[in-house]
Structure 1
């Protein structure tokens, strides 16, 4: 996990490693109108699942934090489920990709994609 983290209005923390990876992916897309959106949706084996994607839309009540060239967007319905969560990017032999550590999750499934 990265040493420097920032917590702002979304209630979600994006580590330096996650912000850097998102910025690299955005640069690869060649677009400056995309933001990293994290939301909670019904589904998965535990009842709720995360959706993390680049998005060019903004709703009037979206919460937005800027992380060194990357906007992190959370909709107001997802915010209560994500308060205190940390998004990181890991690149190890065992695992590669974005991870979400959510203290609000009472239980998670084995695949790590859904929670309750």
Structure 2
């Protein structure tokens, strides 16, 4: 079952660019793996992929193909996915109206529902090349 989620225009634009500039052929999509964790409640990894993997479902929105593993589908139900680009953060953000704000006081995140995604999480389904010997 596909989740009932909202993708803002900024997030849609970001995902389309990742797929478009990946160099993959037509029909490629954006794989989004979301898991529980962090103060925001979400950890996320994403990549451009040529096709969904077994067990993934495809959510299509105006030509954008979003590949979602089962765990991600459960986590994203009712969530709004946005893209933030500010001086302090850049990446996908997740807002779940059913989740309260964090009260742990140990996070530097200013907004609840913001998942920080490291640049190294962006890929095309291949591990990064090993460093070259000098």
Whether TM-score is above 0.5 comes out as yes
Once the two structures are TM-superposed, the CA of residue 64 in structure 1 deviates from its matched residue by 1.8
Match of 1:3 in 2: none
Identify if the C-alpha distance between structure 1 residues 95 and 113 changes in structure 2 by more than 3 Å, giving closer, same or farther: closer
* Deviation by residue 1:10-52 (Cα, 9 ceiling, x = unmatched): 3222112211122123222222343222223366578862223
- Equivalent residue, structure 2, for 1:28: 21
Give the one of 63, 80, 92 matched to 1:98.
Answer: 92
Q: How many residues align?
A: 107
Secondary structure of 1:77's match?
Answer: helix
State the Cα RMSD in Å: 3.2
- Measured at CA, do residues 96 and 43 of structure 1 come closer, stay the same or move farther in structure 2, by a change above 3 Å? closer
The verdict on how the C-alpha distance between 1:103 and 1:73 changes in structure 2, with shifts beyond 3 A counting, is farther
Match of 2:64 among 26, 49, 70: 70
Q: Radius of gyration: which is bigger?
A: 2
List runs of 5+ in structure 1 lacking aligned partners: 1-8
SS of 2:4's equivalent in the other structure is coil
* 2:31 alignment partner, one of 20, 33, 37: 37
